[in-house]
Amino acid sequence: MKLLDGRKIKKEILEGLREELKTLEKLTLVVIQVGSFDASNLYIESKRKMAEFVGIHFKYLHLSISISERELLEIIDRLNVDDKVTGLMVQIPLPSHIHEKTIQNRILPTKDVDGLCAINMGLLVCEDSSALVSPTAQGIVDILDYYHIDIAGRYVVIVGRSNLVGKSVFSLLLNRDATVTVCHSRTQNLNEYTKKADILIVAVGKAKMIKGEDVKENAVVIDVGIHKDCFGKICGDVDFDSVKDKVAYITPVPGGIGQMTVANLAKNIVKAYFLGKKTGR
């Protein structure tokens, strides 16, 4: 079994971007958080560190949990027209009185560095190179490419159908000629699919749900989940210990897709800068 090392790839990507960014004007990433969720705080901290490393200005707007949807939309509208803002993202989860998709769709597509607005999702499906694509989904494809793992013609099973992961990586891999099945909480007999996958991508948000008996011999396993187990140790959606001796490649948690996500967020901010220049926004 070989570990797919996201940390090493992130370092290479960020070092390259740090050089490129020296030649550009200062870019700004704005991250909005409503209320406070422990997991979100960790993600925000990793984005702040990434921005500091590559030389992007990081602006964090921490808003009260009682802010209304209308007030949040007004803040987004102001940031959308602010020339100094290159990339804008709203950390999820949001409190239940705020509709996630309404917020995501309000962000100007050329500043939507999370790639979650309907326009960017549509551009992705249509294979339009101007799409800003979910950094997590792109990170999955990039890690496969880095290790020269064939995609075309392979059977890929994705467990989880969120826009952020499942649906975005489905489009990317279909566009790369994989045969792709997407499973979700209503899929019957899940492991009849997972056991057939050449490449298995798991993004369910359930610690250690996928076990050794659920994977095919010599499969490639991409574990997107991040959790703390009952001993406080970080783990993924895949039960690493029961899977590791059976598979050809696996992403570790931590050190796998989380690292690729941060690296691709940085790439998206640079892409957003050039898209903004091109479209005048």
As a whole number of Å, the CA-based R_g of the chain is 19
59 touches ligand NDP (CB under 6 A) = no
114 is catalytic: yes
122 contacts: CB under 8 Å, gap ≥ 6? none
Task: Give me the phi and psi of 101, to 5 degrees please.
Answer: -70, -35
Residues 208 and 11: their CA atoms lie apart, in Å, by 27
* Selected binder of ligand NDP within 156, 222, 224, 250 (CB under 6 A): 224
261 touches ligand NDP (CB under 6 A) = yes
> Would you call 2 exposed, middle or buried from its count of C-beta atoms within 10 A (0-12, 13-18, 19+)?
exposed
> For residues 114-153, which are near ligand NDP according to CB under 6 A?
136
* Selected binder of ligand NDP within 187, 191, 196, 211 (CB under 6 A): 187
225 touches ligand NDP (CB under 6 A) = yes
Shortest Å distance, C-beta 8 to ligand NDP? 16
Stretch that binds ligand NDP, among 22-30, 159-167, 211-219, 273-281 (CB under 6 A): 159-167
Q: Which of 10, 33, 91, 208 is catalytic?
A: 91
91 is catalytic: yes
Four-residue CA torsion sign, 220, 160, 153, 171: negative
Residues 161 and 180: their CA atoms lie apart, in Å, by 12
* Selected binder of ligand NDP within 32, 151, 156, 165 (CB under 6 A): 165
> For residues 60-99, which are near ligand NDP according to CB under 6 A?
none
Residues 53 and 139: their CA atoms lie apart, in Å, by 19
Could you list the active site residues?
47, 91, 114
